Structure 1
Amino acid sequence: MGKRVLVVEDSPNVCEMCVRVLTRAGFEVESAATGREALRLLRSSPAFDLAVIDFALPDISGLELIDHMRAQSPAIIISGYLSLEDRESIAQIERCEVLLKPFRTQDLIAAVERTLNS
């Protein structure tokens, strides 16, 4: 069985693309459209090996979600724009990478592999 990945993204198109690409790459993928939905999955599902999280979720920030799951798994923050302050905050988080939108599917796979192997 492949590594488990949680995709948290409120854009249906981006979420669907991430799920499709990661599933084809051999990962077991679950998705959530909000931070609260992701927190429910984190509590009720077996542990995830990695989370791919949109920085700007509609209910809680990607950083806040990472804070809730810090002990559980590494993360990749995806975003169309990050301020210098946001980048500095993310840089303080161990085993967390940033992937700026728009990104290519091979960039997503490479980021996932780097983060899992860090």
Structure 2
Amino acid sequence: MWTQIKTDLHRHRGMHQLFAIVLGILVAMMYAVAALIEAQPLLNKIGQGSNMTSLFPAALVVVLVVMMLFSVMFMVYLNGLLIARREHEFQLYRRLGMPQWRLNFSLVGETLISGCAGLAGGS
């Protein structure tokens, strides 16, 4: 089972690298926005001369939430796209007698490994 996951990760490393890189970039951007929310001296400079001091962090929180939602939706879409590109491979596995649960376990394993690599790269 693990050898199949390892083989599929190696065989489709370009797709998995794309998944991990995009996820890493999105996570890094979310960290940057979160750091801006916590940067009190910077927020004080921005709010100097106006009454918008409390509005700017709230707007950044909204931006962060929207980025998180977008990231989750985009990663689900990208993962679905990557799986759809391998449909013929999955049909071959099924014709050769691989049980559906094993194929599903393999796909979940590949996705988790790529996702963990992207999260580690972005943090």
TM-score range normalised by the length of the shorter chain: under 0.3
Provide TM-score, normalisation by structure 2. Answer: 0.22
Q: Which has the higher helix share?
A: 2
Instruction: Specify the structure having the higher radius of gyration (Cα).
Output: 2
- Return the structure number with greater strand share: 1
TM-score scaled by length of structure 1: 0.23
